[in-house]
Structure 1
């Protein structure tokens, strides 16, 4: 049997096994769901050091502190939030009724969907595997996880840990390369969530469409940052550096480029370089700055920088000590690059930040609106009128004002894209609903009003039509 056929057989068997288990217990109790959430929490607490070490090996180097703060901590926060609210979420949700249907009761019950597939990217291989899993298990489902082949150490560890903490008919992990991912996306799941690039997202959606499998696509794009004319550029620089250089810019919601008033552009560049050196002093940067995953990604970023050099663009690199293992690129600012260069057309996904000058705030808004709708937007302003203007004039998946990345850590906010940056949103209550079927129910309590409209038709029917069809 070929490796591909073996993988497809393994995938099919896993789906059949989980679907059979779901059919035998389609409505897990609150205690069952909490138990599954608690097992994720135990996994994270008991195996945190192993997880951090595996991720660091896959990245060439990633600080244990960074993995803890970016992956473990937000997962524990989401678990606390979900566990404390789950009882309320599971209750039937009462809905209203119009005057002519006062004899009825209406409610919505959120039911589990069944078996859900999770396709995980390489940049946050733990957070983006277990984050969706929290919502999926809270909603009463079962899950099959396909981790990225680009982080083999983490994927192998995740496979082993999930098998230790969960039965195969609850949660299982299937490893493999591109061919396995293609077969995975073609399975008849009850829902499929994919996190990754827009290009691959299109292929996943096309494969899922053959089975009418509903999808949640968390993609990416070029998330812009606007610094309003009145905002302190040094303060903005501190938050921009944090958002851009966490995980060496390999974050789907990292600031992709900064729009700043033309007269303040040089001062912002100076402030950004100063802040980079403050965050990554030479004596510690080699151990706290994250590497680039894979030679292909490294070469792609270098190619983008080389194009800017060749076209005479001003490029400013911060002089920090880089990790001694794997692939790395120093934090780099690209000043006013041409809009048709590679760094301005494609999502950067690395520690390179274009700085784009604008003359008026309207110009900055128009620049954003002329491009595909991004996954995130960042605005720095203390002016409420500017805030309203930018929010009303742009469309994005989410927004953080006077900071970066913070929206993704808010458990009570939906997280997701719009248009080419994604389909659907999850996290917290929105994730519970995303991975549930909202079944609406109507109950006749005393008298069925439909009997007044039954044939034979006459004056009563005409009267009811007039009353019920009123404007």
Structure 2
């Protein structure tokens, strides 16, 4: 039963007000206190792994290994990295003093943004909720978290975990549908961290504008995999097949389409088929290593892409089977695709993979740059000149060379999109910065700027001429 709007609004406002009042206290916590909060999260998660695995299996039959890899390890490694480095992150960051500012010392103070809202998606319902929360805690914020209603078992686990570990005036979870998200977006948060589709990201950004709140938008898009004629085709095919099989292809940084040199297309198809046979020897339908599409709506969306592509001339060269009652979509490879097909217009977010061919590098650049900037761009090549050409003539949130999807697991790298694929960065120090205000501080140690005060005599003008010319 949906919560009455007035009751929901009052409840959200009550918690928001309590958090705003408490934000001053949380902001004053030191590195050891914040690190201890992260340890509490880590310990709870490790003590409840069976509950996590069951929740995600119940939501969309996510295999236990994929839960550990894509959800748990993502969180545990991030917590450990943050705890190890938090003291250094929080230290005042000294900056040089220019000659014109002689007599002052200058530094950057990282201070929390305050009240933050985290809206997380369903595809990695634990990791993409907790990972930004780790950064928010590390930066000293209070937070309200809205997980996805499409994965209710995992959302309920999140609610239980957070309510057991934190007072609601510091961190609170609100389950529910789009109505809850809409009500949350009416509140004057200092920062909003949203992960999801670009269409919803635009709604979030409009709502944030009403309060001049800063935003982090981790979105998506059509991430290409460029495979040239020098690439190790077998490895490229195996990596790509893994990318599309992991979480049933429901990953924002999964390969969305392949652009392969025409001379290697047939070899890639054969290698892709062989890779799938090794990964799912009994067939993906019977394999306990293959998840399902999250719900029937998304299943029908994917089946619609497949049917539309076939009707418009695409060829299914691998897979193609779908089962409505299971929300099952077989790993599928398509050739003879064109931009008139829906599969080449929208982010796929499933195990369907279109393959395009090219004859020269310029075709690749023209095609990739003719679309929105992707969240990820992959390059498979052994030719350093080709790699540099593809890298230097495109733009993407992140790029991986001769592998796929490994960028998200490196806390030393910034993760995030550009324009349509996202705004802002997460991971490690970059996530800590995203939830912090970089406050510039200048301190006068000696002297004054009195020699530049009015009246503006000829001597003052001389001093300014020297400053402008030499400094």
Using structure 2 for the length normalisation, give the TM-score.
0.96
Shift of 1:22: 1.1
Matching residue of 1:470: 469
Alignment of 1:99-110 (within 5 A): 99-110=99-110
Instruction: Summarize the alignment of residues 122-271 of structure 1 with structure 2, pairs less than 5 Å apart.
Output: 122-271=122-271
- Runs of at least 4 residues off by over 4 Å: 322-325
Shift of 1:135: 0.6
**CA–CA distance in structure 2, aligned partners of residues 372 and 113 of structure 1:** 30
Distance in 1 between residues matched to 2:248 and 2:191, nearest whole Å: 32
Identify the residue that residue 120 of structure 2 maps to in structure 1. 120
1:370-413 Cα offsets, whole Å, 9 max, x none, are 00000000001122111111111000000111100001101011
1:289-325 Cα shifts (integer Å, max 9, x gaps): 01000100000100111112212211123399x9998
| 1:67-466 correspondence to structure 2 within 5 Å | 67-282=67-282, 285-318=286-319, 326-448=326-448, 450-466=449-465
Question: What is the Cα deviation at residue 137 of structure 1?
Answer: 0.3
> Which whole-Å deviations, capped at 9, do the CAs of 1:258-314 have from their partners, x for residues lacking one?
000112112111111110111111078521101000100000100111112212211
Native 8 Å contact 1:218 1:416 kept in 2: yes
Q: Distance in 1 between matches of 2:280 and 2:115?
A: 44
Q: 1:9: how far off? A: 1.6
Q: Are the equivalent residues in 1 in contact too, given 2:309–2:341 (CA < 8 A)?
A: yes
> How big is the shift at 1:25?
4.1
Q: 1:25 to 1:295 in 2, by over 3 A?
A: closer
State how far apart, in whole Å, the 1-side matches of 2:404 and 2:216 are: 24
State how far apart, in whole Å, the 2-side matches of 1:437 and 1:323 are.
49
**1:22-58 CA distances to partner (integer Å, 9 max, x unpaired)?**
1244321112101111111012101111011111111
Q: Is the 8 A contact 1:37 1:83 kept in 2?
A: yes
Could you tell me how far apart the structure 1 residues matched to 2:146 and 2:227 are? 39
1:44 partnered with 2:45: yes
**Aligned mates of 1:381, 1:317 — CA distance in 2:** 24
Cα distance in structure 1, aligned partners of 2:146 and 2:433: 22
* TM, length-normalised to structure 1: 0.96
* Matched position secondary structure for 1:377: strand
Shift of 1:334: 0.9
The structural deviation recorded for 1:100 is 2.4
Q: After TM superposition, give the deviation of residue 364 of structure 1 in Å.
A: 1.0
What per-residue deviation string (whole Å, max 9, x for no partner) do you get for residues 130-162 of structure 1?
000111100011111001111111111211111
Query: Could you tell me how far 1:422 is from its partner in structure 2?
Result: 0.6
Instruction: Assess if the C-alpha contact under 8 Å between 1:453 and 1:461 holds in 2.
Output: yes
In the aligned structure 1, how far is the partner of 2:323 from the partner of 2:444? 68
Structure 1, 8-17 or 365-374: larger mean CA deviation: 8-17
Who is 1:54 aligned against? 55
1:192 is paired with a residue whose SS is strand
Q: In structure 1, what is the Cα distance between the partners aligned to 2:3 and 2:151?
A: 24
Shift of 1:326: 3.6
CA displacement at 1:363 relative to structure 2: 0.7
Give me the whole-angstrom Cα distance separating, in 1, the residues matched to 2:293 and 2:184: 27
* Helix, strand or coil at the partner of 2:143: strand
Contact 2:107 2:442 in 1 (8 A): yes
Could you tell me how far apart the structure 2 residues matched to 1:241 and 1:75 are?
25
2:162–2:171 Cα contact (<8 Å) kept? yes
Tell me the C-alpha RMSD between the 2 structures: 1.7
Contact 1:27 1:112 in 2 (8 A): no
Gaps in structure 1 of 5+ consecutive residues: none
SS for the counterpart of 2:199 is helix
Report the Cα distance in structure 2 between the residues aligned to 1:169 and 1:456, rounded to whole angstroms. 54
Shift of 1:2: 6.0
Q: Is the 8 A contact 2:185 2:208 kept in 1?
A: yes
Deviations 1:61-80 (A, max 9, x none): 11111111110011111111
5+ residue gaps in structure 2? none
CA contact (8 A) 2:189 2:213 kept: yes
Q: Does 1:8 align with 2:9?
A: yes
Count of aligned pairs? 468
Aligned to 1:23: 24
- Comparing 21-30 and 135-144, the one that deviates more: 21-30
